[in-house]
Copies of this chain bind each other. A is one copy, B any other.
Amino acid sequence: MTRRKLNRDKAMKEKTPPANRPVNLKILGEYLDLSPATISLVLNNAPGVKSIPQDTRDRVIAAAKKFDYRPSFYARSLRGRRSFSIGVLVPELSDGYSAHVMDGIEQVLIEEGYFYLTASHRRKADLIEEYPRMLQDRSVEGFIVIDTLLEQAPPMPTVAVAGHRKLPGVTNITLDHRRAAELSLKHLYQLGHRRIAFMRGRASSSDSADRWKSLMAVAKELGLEVLPELTMQVEGIVSTPELGFPITHELLRRTRDFTAIVAFNDLAAIGAIRALREHGLAVPEDVSVVGFDDFEHAAYHSPSLTTIRQPLHKMGDMAARILLGHIRGQDGFENEVAIVPELVIRESTAPPPARRKKR
């Protein structure tokens, strides 16, 4: 009987009570009378495992199962310089936009063995600076930033969803705003609308500028005038219909000489409809309203909203896939990925009053 055999028997008898601390390779090694290295090799099916006979492997695997061995994530990360975590930077979790994108992100990440840390900056410039650093300190391997204007690209793979600023090394996933503008304006145009009021997004929302430019361009092509007196500026940072309420109120106090509103988003559209109603105007009979986003409630508002659907879940999905691609150094780098929007026609748009009468 060799010394080793003796030791093994002893170990078998002692049975290593589950201890207070979680079982690790060393404990497992003592129990099996093997070195931690061997166990690691077996459990990871590493190349060097070839020289280890099947019955040893079985013993190892059985013991790991028996003691419910779970490798220490931190030890592993430290050694392998990987964290399998990414950072997600959002304006606000509860704004209804981010959560949908994150839903898409999450599904992809979990499948690939990644988790993510979230930080919401509430559109405060100092936090937009600080949080990426904090997440870097947590060793994230990459970033996804949602609807956020970064000043600087973080020094690691980064994908921006709806971040229009072009930063070196950052892939932007954005809606094809040109196409979106065409969808909403042509829809109104074909219904017969010619005097259209617009909402211009706030500067801190990264989508705003692009969307506005596209609307201008398409309006011009259609021969529609975008009149300053029919242009509303979205203000404040609320994520309730309040977004569109006061400015539409204000517009109506000035003039009623328009037959349609292109709202900044669905929330603003709902606020606008409220304001119109309070001024005795019916939607869509007197004024048509087009939204943007197609969030859940769009279909259930009354009237239900005609809107431009943004496939947020899919954008999150793509963001995650592209980011993982960058992290793994797989595919080539793309600076811009365009997502195709879709027009969803519901009740809030109809031909303008004049045209209706003609019929």
- Taking the complex as formed, is A335 at the interface, i.e. its CB lies under 8 A from any CB of chain B? no
Please state if A106 and B120 are interface contacts (CB–CB under 8 Å). yes
A302 lies within 8 A of chain B by Cβ: yes
Q: Which of A109-117, A186-194, A325-333 contacts B (4 or more CB under 8 A)?
A: A109-117
**Contact flag A115-B138 (CB < 8 Å), given A277-B302, A300-B274:** yes
Q: A106-129 interface mask toward B, CB cutoff 8 Å, 1 = contact, 0 = none?
A: 100010000111111000000000
Q: Mark A155-191, 1 if CB is under 8 A from B, else 0.
A: 0000000000000000000000000000000000000
Residues on B with beta carbons closer than 8 Å to the beta carbon of A75: 78
Bound Cα distance A119, B273 (Å): 37
A241 in contact with B300 (CB, 8 Å): yes
Known pairs A93-B103, A96-B96; A74 contacts B139 (CB<8 A):
yes
The residue in chain B whose Cβ has the minimal distance to the Cβ of A82 is B74
Hey, which chain B residues are within 8 Å of A273, CB to CB? Answer: 302
Contact partner, A94, options B72, B77, B99, Cβ 8 Å: B99
Docked complex: A295-310 residues within 8 A CB-CB of B: 296-297, 299-302
When the two chains form their complex, are residues A239 and B296 in contact, meaning their CB atoms are under 8 A apart?
yes
Which of A78, A99, A134, A274 has the largest number of chain B CB atoms within 10 A? A99
* Contact status B78-A74, CB under 8 Å: yes
Q: What is the bound-complex CA distance between A120 and B245, given in angstroms?
A: 34
Docked Cα-Cα span, A99 to B100, in Å, equals: 10
**Residue A137 is within 8 A (CB to CB) of chain B in the complex:** yes
Task: Enumerate chain A interface residues (CB-CB to B < 8 A).
Answer: 70-75, 77-78, 83, 85, 92-94, 96, 98-100, 102-103, 106, 110, 115-120, 134-139, 239-242, 245, 270-271, 273-274, 277, 296-297, 299-302
